[in-house]
Chain A
Amino acid sequence: AQSVAQPEDQVNVAEGNPLTVKCTYSVSGNPYLFWYVQYPNRGLQFLLKYITGDNLVKGSYGFEAEFNKSQTSFHLKKPSALVSDSALYFCAVRDGTGFQKLVFGTGTRLLVSP
Chain B
Amino acid sequence: KAGVTQTPRYLIKTRGQQVTLSCSPISGHRSVSWYQQTPGQGLQFLFEYFSETQRNKGNFPGRFSGRQFSNSRSEMNVSTLELGDSALYLCASSLGTSGDSETQYFGPGTRLLVL
Contact = CB atoms under 8 A, between A and B. Distances in A.
Interface string B84-115: 00000010100000011101111111010000
Contacts of A45: 106
Given A95-B100, A96-B99, A96-B100, A101 B48 contact: yes
Contacts of B55: 99
A87 interface: no
Interface residues of A, number: 26
Given A32-B100, A96-B101, A98-B100, A104 B43 contact: yes
B58 to A, nearest CB: 7
B21 interface: no
Interface of B: 4, 6, 33, 35, 42-43, 45, 48, 50, 55-56, 58, 90, 92, 99-101, 103-109, 111
7 contacts: A36-B106, A43-B4, A45-B106, A46-B106, A96-B99, A99-B55, A107-B43
Interface of A: 32, 34, 36, 41-46, 49, 51, 90, 94-107
